[in-house]
Amino acid sequence: MNKTRRKCSLIFIAVSALSLIVVFDIRVCAQTAATPAPSPSPSPLANTQSQPTPCAGSAALGVLQLTTDATNPDNKLKLARRRFYLSPRPFNLANPNVNLRGAPSLRNFYTSAGASPQLIAWLEENHCETVYCRELTANEVKCEGIDTKKCVPEFTSAYREALVKLKGNQELARKWVTNYPPLSSTKLRTDFYNAKKKWLERAVEVIGREPGSNLKVRSTITDKDGIAFFYDLCPGTYYVSSLAPVEVEGVGLVWETTNPVKIKGPPGMNSAASTTIKLVFPPAKDKGNTFVGKTVDEVIANRKTSAP
């Protein structure tokens, strides 16, 4: 009996310890764990690489690939980690109610938030909208082994603060650096992300009010080579857009497929049909499934010329 009681006591202690570990782990926020998450409420901007919908006539589902100019590596990097949207209806960014000039600009937003030029340059170089987009390296937080002109003062200041609070534990301070000032300020952490999300939701709402639009938006993010996919598409025509301007070297460019992109997948097909569209930079011209980015000024100028 005593052995049984001791055994039960040991099991209880072990379970209690495990519970504490789980609770502690949930409450801790490291760099990568604190990435801002989309709102749990229904949103037209939800990433909808979701469960496939059965197609009419049992047609095979298709795939749409977004790619860039493979002959120019710089262009691939410029479109890395960018979000694009897909709809069966035109986005019509020429709609005057879509406030393209009001879309949050990373450079302007972080400048007004008091961010250093080095932090803004780091965000742009890494195609990041927040400081959570990737874990900082030891060299970055210590400003060692890198060009001193690229040292980000917010990183080094937060790292020093973390070292004090975490009793000199360098590895822990590096991983949790975004939890300490000045990086812990919401202005530098999540305010730009939230402002852009709000603008996108408003833009989708405006476009969705167009007669007969019935806008159902799906989204995807390009990888490090500027490539992305939309999966599980029923045969039909689709449109792709960046919606918000993509900032490239301080210039806002908008991609929008004004002509429909056809996804094929006739009944009886055993495999998915794949279609590729290429996103390229000015001064190229739209041709077939190749689409050129336009500046915000160009889109707004087109509003004026197309007005009745």
For 54-95, what is each residue's pLDDT tens digit?
676 666 788 999 998 877 777 778 888 889 999 888 888 888
pLDDT in tens, 217-237: 888 999 988 999 999 888 889
Nearest to 93 by CA among 194, 196, 200: 200
Residue-wise burial string across 13-42, b where 16 or more C-beta atoms lie within 10 A, e elsewhere: eeeeeeeeeeeeeeeeeebeebeeeeeeee
Are 185 and 114 contacting, i.e. CB atoms less than 8 angstroms apart?
A: no
In angstroms, rounded to a whole number, what is the distance separating the alpha carbons of residues 160 and 175?
A: 13
Confidence at residue 187, expressed as pLDDT on a 0 to 100 scale: 93
Buried b (16+ CB within 10 A) or exposed e, 49-69: eeeeeebeeebbbbbbebbbb
pLDDT higher than 50, residue 135:
yes
Q: Are strands 273-280 and 62-68 parallel, antiparallel or unpaired?
A: parallel
Domain boundaries, the chain: 56-95+214-306, 107-189
Q: What architecture does CATH give domain 56-95+214-306?
A: Sandwich (2.60)
CA–CA distance, 159 with 141 (Å, rounded to integer): 6
Mean pLDDT in residue range 151-176: 96
Mean of all residue pLDDT scores within the chain: 79
Distance, in Å, from the CA atom of 212 to the CA atom of 215, rounded to the nearest integer, reads 9
